[in-house]
Structure 1
Amino acid sequence: MNGAELTDTDNRPDDELGPIDYLVVEFPPGQTRLTGEAAAELVALAASDTIRVLDLMIVYKGEDGSIDVDEFEDIDDLGDLAQIEATLAEVLAEQDLIDIAAAMDPGSAAAVLVWENTWAAPFAVALRRGGGQLIASGRIPTQALIASMSKEGE
């Protein structure tokens, strides 16, 4: 993500941050809300200090390719999600949203979430203080791991 610098929302210097991740979840037309069980789980993760939500937006892509964005504070009826508003650093830039919309289907909406893995911050800080520098990172899809583990058991 190309957004702005992180702000000190919880009195920690930026060099004490944990790893930062993002995800984009596309919803079909008519289903444009991050609500219910998913919202409750996100709030629980933030409340337990497992993560710190840095940005949350809803991107809409019109049938004609136009883009509209609801920033977190512009979303009506946040429900439980209102609890995480104070942690937002608003790190997404306009170009990030344009790039996300390019991958979306016309008529759809997507929730864009950026978070700090606060649970990993002490480990990340210790690595940096020891001279370590991240040179690669990635995710293994759950399905690939399950398939690999199934083959090992055969």
Structure 2
Amino acid sequence: MSADDVDDVSEMGPVDYLVLEFPGDRMTGEGLSRLLDLVDRHIIRVLDLAFLRKEADGTVTVLEIADLDGDGELDLAVFGGASSGLLDEGDLREAAAALRPNSSAGVVVYENLWAAPLATALRRNGARVVAGGRIPPEDLLASLEAAEAAAS
């Protein structure tokens, strides 16, 4: 994707990123069918996709899109051109800094297409996002358990 691929940024949905760490070389490609399903159903649009490997000594390598599960087929061929330019070397260094030694990671930047009509309508009325974030599942579970305990 390039700037030419976006008719009007004001029509885009929110853009998020995920850095998903895998211990060792255990990127099996198991979640790829779920990612493809989200793309096929126009829930998200993958803007950038990269893979990293951090060695025991801290050396980081950017991996080529490849056959992750070893079945002889390029699992990620559909994302071969997913490079909008949003994800740069500095972003990859920052993602790598969060990784433990002897791990691999996938970094994905994606547009939330499902939210584009809402975001567009709100922007047209002068609304703007002033804060946002993610609640990690562990924190959500802890909060729900605490609320349940308090209610008992």
Same fold by TM-score, threshold 0.5 exceeded?
Answer: yes
TM-score normalised by length of structure 1: 0.80
* Residue 3 (structure 2) pairs with residue 7 (structure 1): yes
Partner of 1:146: 144
> What stretches of structure 1 of length at least 5 have no aligned partner?
none
Deviation at 1:132, TM superposition (A): 0.9
* Residue 110 (structure 2) pairs with residue 115 (structure 1): yes
Aligned counterpart for 1:61 among listed residues 38, 54, 58? 54
Equivalent pair of 1:29/1:107 in contact (CA under 8 Å): yes
Q: Aligned partners of 1:107 and 1:135: how far apart in 2?
A: 37
**1:52 counterpart SS class:** strand
Partner of 2:24: 29
TM-score normalised by length of structure 2: 0.81
**1:150 counterpart SS class:** helix
Return closer, same or farther for 1:148/1:127 CA change in 2, 3 Å cut-off: farther
Residue 20 of structure 1 aligns with an amino acid whose one-letter code is: V
Q: Aligned partners of 2:124 and 2:110: how far apart in 1?
A: 22
Equivalent pair of 2:65/2:77 in contact (CA under 8 Å): no
The CA deviation string for residues 13-62 of structure 1, in whole angstroms up to 9 with x for no partner, is: 2221100111111111121x2512x1110000000000001111111112
Equivalent pair of 1:34/1:111 in contact (CA under 8 Å): no
* Residue 88 (structure 2) pairs with residue 93 (structure 1): yes
> What stretches of structure 2 of length at least 5 have no aligned partner?
68-73
Return closer, same or farther for 1:130/1:144 CA change in 2, 3 Å cut-off: farther
Residue 76 of structure 1 aligns with an amino acid whose one-letter code is: A
**2:93 counterpart SS class:** helix
Root-mean-square deviation (CA), in Å?
Answer: 2.3
Aligned counterpart for 2:66 among listed residues 55, 72, 76? 76
Return closer, same or farther for 1:116/1:99 CA change in 2, 3 Å cut-off: same
Equivalent pair of 2:54/2:61 in contact (CA under 8 Å): yes
Equivalent pair of 2:17/2:109 in contact (CA under 8 Å): yes
Q: Aligned partners of 1:87 and 1:101: how far apart in 2?
A: 19
Deviation at 1:93, TM superposition (A): 1.0
Q: Aligned partners of 1:149 and 1:55: how far apart in 2?
A: 38
Return closer, same or farther for 1:152/1:6 CA change in 2, 3 Å cut-off: farther
